[in-house]
Amino acid sequence: GAGVSQSPRYKVAKRGQDVALRCDPISGHVSLFWYQQALGQGPEFLTYFQNEAQLDKSGLPSDRFFAERPEGSVSTLKIQRTQQEDSAVYLCATQLGNTIYFGEGSWLTVV
Amino acid sequence: GENVEQHPSTLSVQEGDSAVIKCTYSDSASNYFPWYKQELGKRPQLIIDIRSNVGEKKDQRIAVTLNKTAKHFSLHITETQPEDSAVYFCAAIASGNTPLVFGKGTRLSVIA
């Protein structure tokens, strides 16, 4: 596609519910990142893939967060047993050289 | 790891005045410094970037300066307009295989 596509754009989850957020990267972009952006804050790194390999997951805030990219293209960020503090925009980005391409983000609100 | 500090957190300027946002970074290996503009509900948009082999870059009303010795870089917006109002983020990256590390953002308000 023309850009990084994320779905759903908006998600309201009840506390304790599991959610899955999808990222369709730009075709051919090997590097894929997930960021979490809380209201009024800068994006915070969560995890990084190079093709299907998850090379860095040091930013995942807890073991309730899990990300995968099984075929080196589409990636899914899963959050289990959501909590209110998980409410944020989740940004997916791909990288070519030093240029980062962001998706529009998935806005998660946990109520 | 890299740590990026950004100041100020909010900035209000009169239309036509200049705005300056400053960032510092900690990792001397960082060599690429982009600036992003984010409007409410939108994705961050790259507005200008600078690589470590240059000290200054300008694009119309926007310029970025880099002082590698002091590990700081700044965004300068001249002749500000109301549409410049947004949140601006600086970032730093060491290589193509490492994540961008962002500052916490500056909310710029341009008052007409």
Q: Is the dihedral of CA A22, A28, A30, A33 positive or negative?
A: negative
Are residues B52 and B31 in contact, defined by beta-carbon separation less than 8 angstroms?
yes
What pLDDT does A104 receive? 93
Tell me how far apart the alpha carbons of residues A51 and A69 are, in angstroms, rounded to a whole number.
8
CB-CB neighbors (< 8 A) of A98 in chain B: 32, 34, 49, 51, 93, 96
Whether the upstream peptide bond of residue A8 has omega within 30° of 0, thus cis, is: yes
Q: Average per-residue pLDDT in chain A? A: 94
E strand or H helix at A68: strand A65-68
pLDDT of A2 higher than 90: no
A63: left (phi over 0), alpha (psi -120 to 50) or beta: alpha
Confidence of residue B98 (pLDDT cuts 50, 70, 90): confident
Q: pLDDT of B33-91, one tens digit each?
A: 999 999 988 999 999 999 988 899 999 999 999 999 999 999 999 999 999 999 999 99
- Interior/surface letters A32-44, b for 16+ CB within 10 angstroms, e for the rest: bbbbbbeeeebbb
Any CB–CB contact under 8 A between A31 and chain B?
A: yes
Q: Give the residue on A whose Cα is nearest the Cα of B103.
A: A42
How far is the alpha carbon of A6 from chain B, nearest alpha carbon, in Å?
11
What pLDDT does A97 receive? 77
Span A75-89, average pLDDT? 97
**B residues 24-43 lying closer than 8 A (beta carbon) to A:** 32, 34, 42-43
What pLDDT does B96 receive? 61
Please report, to the nearest 10 degrees, the dihedral formed by the alpha carbons of residues A6, A11, A16, A17 taken in order.
-70
Q: How many CB atoms lie within 10 A of CB A96?
A: 13
Q: pLDDT of A29-62, one tens digit each?
A: 999 999 999 988 889 999 999 999 999 999 999 9
Residue with tokens 């990288």: A95
pLDDT of A1 higher than 60: no
Cβ distance A55 to B99 less than 8 Å, yes or no, reads no
What pLDDT does B52 receive? 86
Span A68-94, average pLDDT? 97
Which one-letter DSSP state was computed for residue B93?
B
pLDDT of B23 higher than 60: yes
Any CB–CB contact under 8 A between A73 and chain B?
A: no
